[in-house]
Amino acid sequence: MRVSAISSPKSTAGGLTILLLLLDFIAPAATVKHENFKTCSQSGFCRRNRAFADHALAPESNWVSPYEIKEDTLLLQNGVLSADILKTVPGQSEKVVLPLNINFQKNGAVRVTIDELKRTKGDIVLRGESKARKERYNEAERWALIPDWDVRDDKVVYDNRKGQVTLTFGPESKYKAIVTVYPFNIKFERDGETHVVLNDRGLMNVEHWRAQPPEPEEGKEKSPEDLDGGWDETFGGNTDTKPRGPEAVGMDISFPGYDHVFGIPSHATSLSLKTTRGGEGAYNEPYRLFNADVFEYIVDSPMTLYGSIPFMQAHRKGSSVGVLWLNAAETWVDVVKEKKTKTDTKTHWVSESGQLDVWVFLGPNPATLYKTYGELTGFTKMPPTFAIAYHQCRWNYVSEDDVKDVDRKLDKHDIPYDVIWLDIEYSDSKRYFLFDKLAFKHPEEMMKNIDRNERKVVLINDPHIKNTEDYSVVGELKSKELAVRDKSGDIYEGWCWPGSSHWIDSFNPAAIEWWKSLFKLDKFKGTAKNTFFWNDMNEPSVFNGPETTMPKDNLHFGNWEHRDLHNIYGMTFMNATHQALEARDIGKGKTQRSFVLTRAFFAGAQRIGAMWTGDNEAKWEHLQAALPMLLSQGIAGFPFSGADVGGFFGNPSNELLTRWYQSGIWYPFFRAHAHIDSKRREPYVAGDPYTSIIRDAIRLRYTLLPAWYTAFHRASKDGMPIIRPNFVVHPDDEEGFAIDDQTYIGDTGLLIKPVVHEGVDKVDFYLGDDELFYDYWNYKVYQGKGRHEVSAPLEKIPILMRGGHIIPRRDRHRRSSGLMKHDPFTLVLVLNKRGHAMGFLYHDDGESFDYKQGAYINRQFLYNGSLKTLSSRDIHKDRAAGAAYRKDSKALQIEKIVIIGASRSLDTSVLAKGKSKAKAVLVEEDDGKIKEWEAGLSYTAALDGDHADVLVIKNTKLKLVNDWTVYLEQVGRDADKPKDEL
């Protein structure tokens, strides 16, 4: 309910300003404003480099790449091969010197960095009165990579012959980098095959610095150094002054024999990337990476969105490799495929400025690829438990009464939730850090009330800071000089929600320290330990800026131009908030895990928080677009991702809303959100049957929280995506490589194909192998690689359980995840063809950092179908360090063990007839003592030949923290009564 205390401006017949504000929300035709964003041809360096590529690739051009290694500069030292590359410039005798470094990492990753000597020396003249730095930007690694990423391979073998340098490196020295001196290129081999080639097609292009040539005299041709779009460039009424002139870097990267490439999120497109040079089913524009606030984005487009991760995976049967284009400037990526006997995928990367910095990963499979990538950019942060539960959001819950009402109604309808969110209207006239005095008179009390059921409040906090008198935050920002500056070095002023605003320069360490001080509980009045934050508009979104963001010639800390680091800005802001939250003393000197949701991101943001796919729409095609986008996030190492459930703009039909919840419970980040102009749509609004169906869906999410948490733990350790597409789980199943409308959840073997079309009552699952798959709800068995139809009426979420896995659950229904912490677990054993199953459970307190000191439980469960035993094994890295936490967690039990497909392991024919008395003997080691007891069994025979039977071991009283084994014994005599007690 929107209590009118701060009634939305729209509905107030107030003055003109109010009217004007409204104009922002009118969307006559709901579609992206294409004209607000550049196409490649409107972006000078993209246009140039595409033309460059067209020229080089034209058969008649006989193109030879003008880059050559100066052989006498080659030096391998300490795992780094360095050399000078010389660029020949037509009509000039002097060659441009480009220092090359190839850094070989112990884990097999290779970094190729190319800089420009003149620029490193500062030996250039800037146009205008620019105060910008002269070097090419070389600090992307400070943000994208973890601090101690540089672990060199000390066993690189160097071999130089006939203009070719071969370097053997990597795990077991299986990798080779073959560097050709002229024309310069690098081939990466593994197992005797070439997987990645840099400058394969000679599209490498480092635009060296040159002074702007004078206008040619009448009738004379332009100087070849006078590059098209290389100087002042105007778009949408904004002029970019480009103090360093043209300075783009480009490189082509080929993946011979690879038919599929994935990654480079965020784009509203298919998981397997389409080609970009036209033709049927292809795009005409390159994929663009330039964080931007794209209003009402369209689906199926290579257009840029809110965040960028320049990581690409190439996959084929038997191999997975990847590249990271470590550049934070505006970037475009062309993808083409060449079909010979095999298909080669060839890509072309261009960035506006900065060093040429490419990382190559040679796999060999998806799991190792993600691990290697994560070892550099970091793994997913272990979130607090509430963060993976259900989030109830809306722009806006407008008052504390409103918050109370939503909280009360969700409880009344018995719908669990963990977090209620407050969008910008919580603030006092868009001055963040201040609650609206009228609508939120008692925020502390509100926080306390929400905390009663262990729930949290998330407040929005954006990087634009209102430029107004009487606002201490902006006063400090100015006096401490912590804001982003314009090209002349003055504080930059632009427009965002509050009107005139300044932007925090979160690249500045002093700005981070200051930001941290603002979040202290005694400083940010009204917040409490259960208050967390959401960073929106951090692309940054500037309403009156070029392409709705900052001018590229703005200046940041260290006088780096905004151009150089644009795509990283959002992450630095999110980082500042994250640091502030983790530094926050929540009482008695204690700290806790942060939770920050961001809209803008870059490689490495996974170490900080969660992202969502921005302002989607309440349309079926946006529901369809969400899953591929989130799968892509997982590929690119940032799996903690979600899409607004229900669709941000517009009003979903009850069916769409219901289907979206059924889909959204499988997003790693699960939040419902809605635009201020949309109708209320909290789960209880629609009424039955929708409300009940949505409640069941949300409950299912809660039931499976142990599985989700375990999947997050794995992502935090080795980078395995939390939701996984077919090709990750079945890397050799070629038919399944492009499948992106179904997903596996962690290691659970749960396979979900959400219904994302209107009026549909069945789905077509694709099974990637011949394993048994069981319907989650009725145990119907599906087997055989390929398509299988599964019914999916509105009330049913299509879920299959793949044989061979053990799924941990917590079945008791509670109001929030926090209130589940004492509850017992259920283990669901899904037997595979041979009757076996395996699974994992990771558990910790879900809020503190104690897990880093070993305060966690990590178990592996193994069911041996031949021996008919289920055992729980401790896989804690340091058992001793976990002892105290184990002791604290003694009360946690396994209440129930469900064996699906029991007949795969047990002779159930006798069970079914009640002739046999089976029993479960439980043996547990508790505090060094061996205990043994029996537990009851309950058997449900298969419905028919198409279904599986189920055996339940009841009320086991097994302790989660202990090692134990369950022996299933069948005693061949008639069953005693009662019949149901087997």
Site pattern 832..871 for other proteins (x: CB under 8 A): ----------------------------------------
338 vs 888 by CB, closer to other proteins: 888
In the window 487-506, what residues touch other proteins (CB under 8 A)? 495, 499
When binding is defined by CB under 8 A, the residue of 192, 589, 759, 978 that contacts other proteins is 978
Nearest distance, CB of residue 690 and other proteins, angstroms? 11
| Least distance between other proteins and beta carbon 425 (Å) | 11
Site residue total, other proteins (CB under 8 A)? 79
SS3 348: strand
677 lies in the binding site for other proteins (CB under 8 A): yes
Residue 748 near residue 713 (C-beta atoms within 8 A): no
* Residue 687 found at the interface with other proteins (CB under 8 A): no
Query: 906: how many CB neighbours lie within 10 A of its CB?
Result: 23
Nearer to other proteins, 744 or 964 (CB): 964
Query: Contacting other proteins (CB under 8 A), which of 25, 158, 777, 933?
Result: 25
Q: Is 300 assigned a catalytic role?
A: no
* Position among 277, 348, 552, 695 found at the interface with other proteins (CB under 8 A): 695
CA distance 971 to 947: 26
Other CB atoms within a 10 A radius of the CB of residue 939 amount to 21
Shortest CB 662 distance to other proteins, Å: 15
Q: Token digits for 361?
A: 């990963």
- Measured from the CB atom, is 70 or 409 closer to other proteins? 409
* Per-residue 3-state assignment (H helix, E strand, C coil) for 672-684: ECCCCCCCCCCCC
Q: Which residue is listed with tokens 């506006």?
A: 352
Name the β-bridge partners of 358.
112, 325
Contacts of 364 (CB under 8 A, 6+ apart): 190, 191, 318, 319, 320, 321
Site for other proteins in 769-828 (CB under 8 A): 811-815, 819-823
* Residue number with CB closer to other proteins (247 or 644): 644
540 upstream amide cis, omega within 30 of 0: yes
688 near other proteins (CB under 8 A): yes
Tell whether the torsion through CA atoms of 882, 887, 893 and 899 is positive or negative: positive
Identify the residue among 414, 761, 932, 934 touching other proteins (CB under 8 A): 414
Residue 5 in the binding site for other proteins (CB under 8 A): yes
Q: Which of 116, 259, 561, 615 is catalytic?
A: 615
* Alpha-carbon separation of residue 531 from 418, 595, 705 (angstroms): 12, 9, 22
Shortest CB 619 distance to other proteins, Å = 18
| CA separation for the pair 192, 199 (Å, rounded) | 20
* Nearer residue to other proteins within complex by CB, 70 or 413: 413
Catalytic residue among 240, 252, 536, 847: 536
DSSP 8-state assignment for residue 515 = H
> Between residues 343 and 651, which has the closer beta carbon with respect to other proteins?
651
DSSP tag of 173 = G
CB of 827 to other proteins, least distance (A): 14
Q: How many CA atoms lie within 13 A of 137 on its CB side?
A: 33
One of 68, 334, 539, 949 is an active-site residue; which one?
539
Q: Which stretch binds other proteins (CB under 8 A): 69-77, 312-320, 376-384, 695-703?
A: 695-703
The mark string for 531-570 relative to other proteins (x by CB under 8 A, - otherwise) is: ------------xx--xx----------------------
Q: What CA–CA distance (Å, rounded) separates 387 from 708?
A: 11
Q: Left (φ > 0), alpha (ψ -120 to 50) or beta: where does 121 sit?
A: alpha
The two three-digit tokens of residue 55, written as one number:
């020229």
Stretch that binds other proteins, among 475-483, 484-492, 666-674, 696-704 (CB under 8 A): 696-704
In the bound complex, what is the minimum distance in angstroms from residue 19's beta carbon to other proteins?
6
The DSSP call for residue 297 is P
Q: Which of 299, 403, 955, 970 binds other proteins (CB under 8 A)?
A: 955
Nearer Cβ to other proteins (66/494): 494
Rounded Cα distance between 376 and 932, Å, is: 47
Does the footprint of other proteins cover residue 239 (CB under 8 A)? no
Cβ 533 to other proteins, closest distance in Å? 23
Residues 924-943 that bind other proteins (CB under 8 A): 938
How far apart CA 969 and CA 959 sit, in angstroms, is 21
Residues 6+ apart with CB under 8 A from 116: 96, 97, 98, 99, 136, 206, 208, 209
Q: Which of residues 56-115 bind other proteins (CB under 8 A)?
A: none
In the complex, least distance from residue 299 CB atom to other proteins, rounded to whole angstroms:
19
* Beta carbons of 110 and 95 less than 8 angstroms apart: no
**Candidate list 23, 172, 589, 759; residue touching other proteins; CB under 8 A:** 23
Residues 876 to 915 in contact with other proteins, rule: CB under 8 A: 891, 895-896
| Stretch near other proteins under the rule CB under 8 A, chosen from 27-35, 84-92, 464-472, 556-564 | 27-35
Which residues in 364-403 contact other proteins (CB under 8 A)? Answer: 398-399, 401-402
For residue 17, count CB atoms less than 10 angstroms from its CB and return exposed for 0-12, middle for 13-18, buried for 19 or more: exposed
CA geometry: angle 718, 304, 569, nearest 5 deg: 65
In the chain, the N- to C-terminal Cα span, in Å, equals 53
Which position among 339, 412, 588, 929 is part of the footprint of other proteins (CB under 8 A)? 412
Strand partners, 344: 338
By CB under 8 A, the residues from 422 to 451 that bind other proteins are 438-439
What separation in angstroms does the CA of 898 have from each of 571, 922, 937? 44, 15, 10
Whether residue 847 lies in the annotated active site: no
Show the tokens assigned to 136: 């090419």
Residue in the block written with tokens 């080929």? 254
- As a residue count, the chain comes to 982
Contact between 711 and 841 (Cβ < 8 Å): no
Mark 702-741 with x for binding to other proteins (rule: CB under 8 A) and - for no binding.
-x--------------------------------------
Instruction: Report the residue number, 33 or 913, with the smaller CB distance to other proteins.
Output: 33
Q: Is 42 in the site for other proteins (CB under 8 A)?
A: no
Distance CA 163, CA 632 (A): 40
Cα dihedral across residues 708, 709, 712, 714: positive or negative? negative
**302 to 331: interface string for other proteins, x by CB under 8 A:** ------------------------------
Buried b (16+ CB within 10 A) or exposed e, 629-662: bbbbbbbbbbbbbbbbbbbbbbbbebbbbbbbbb
Judged by CB under 8 A, the residue of 47, 70, 127, 413 near other proteins is: 413
Site for other proteins in 272-301 (CB under 8 A): 293, 295
- Least distance to other proteins, CB of residue 814, Å: 5
Helix (H, G, I), strand (E, B) or coil at 951: strand
> Does residue number 55 form part of the binding site for other proteins (CB under 8 A)?
no
* Whether 240 is catalytic: no
Position among 2, 478, 529, 947 found at the interface with other proteins (CB under 8 A) = 2
In the complex, the smallest distance separating the C-beta of residue 2 from other proteins, rounded to whole angstroms, is: 4
Q: Which of 228, 932, 974, 980 binds other proteins (CB under 8 A)?
A: 980
Token pair for 674: 């809605």
Q: How far is the CB of 439 from other proteins (least distance, A)?
A: 6
10-18, 350-358, 418-426, 598-606 -> range binding other proteins (CB under 8 A): 10-18
Site for other proteins in 148-207 (CB under 8 A): none
Active site (catalytic) residues: 536, 539, 615
